[in-house]
Amino acid sequence: MADYKHHWKDGTPVHLPLGKIVCVGRNYAEHARELNNPVPDEPLLFIKPTTSAVYITRPLEVPRDQGEVHFETELAVLIGRPLTNASAREVEAAILGYGLALDLTLRDVQSKLKEKGHPWERAKAFDGACPLSPFVAAEKLPEGNIHFTLDVNGQRQQTGDTDDMLNPIAPLIAHMSKQFTLEPGDVVLTGTPKGVGPLVSGQTLSLELEDVLFVETHVV
């Protein structure tokens, strides 16, 4: 946890400190429906601490005795400039890079918290809850929609496309910046498509972002 640092796909460091990790829930309608959740009227935001960040390529160690731990594959956005009350155009200029992340979730814990109307941090913010891939410079991705996938043990499990987001990336981050300032080194997770499921010891997870980034990890 403490040794995580942002880096590029080629292994060179990104000379920005790891900041907060800002997440959005239920940003894909089909994912909301698969968990029997209502689709929110505005972005549903929560934050993971820096201690949740780990390198995705290292073996995944999950908490025990707290019920199922689910994977949620997400497009990650690395912020390169301060954003406060930003416009969508200012957001686009501030995006330094893109990567992939797993928003690991203690699903049984989250269900109990939701029943009580409590915040989700106990289920979302534990140590190691945010495995992050290396980043690819924003200009290396194609213009338009961004596509990503997750395979579990060689079988397609999740397929994400930014065109399916309820809140597209730039307006979403602009909305976030109106609630609190985003700083260089912060990471935004943009929501998960349908197909989430439990992590099981021995699984191999393969994640791909367009044709520019491929990472693999294992569950121990």
User: Domain spans of the chain?
Assistant: 21-214
User: What is 21-214's CATH number?
Assistant: 3.90.850.10
In this prediction, residue 1 carries a pLDDT of: 47
pLDDT beneath 50: ranges in the chain: 1
89 SS3 class: helix
Q: How far is CA 175 from CA 14, 70, 95, 181, 191, in A?
A: 25, 27, 15, 10, 15
Q: Read off the pTM.
A: 0.95
The mean predicted confidence, pLDDT, of the chain is: 94
| Widest CA span in the chain | 45
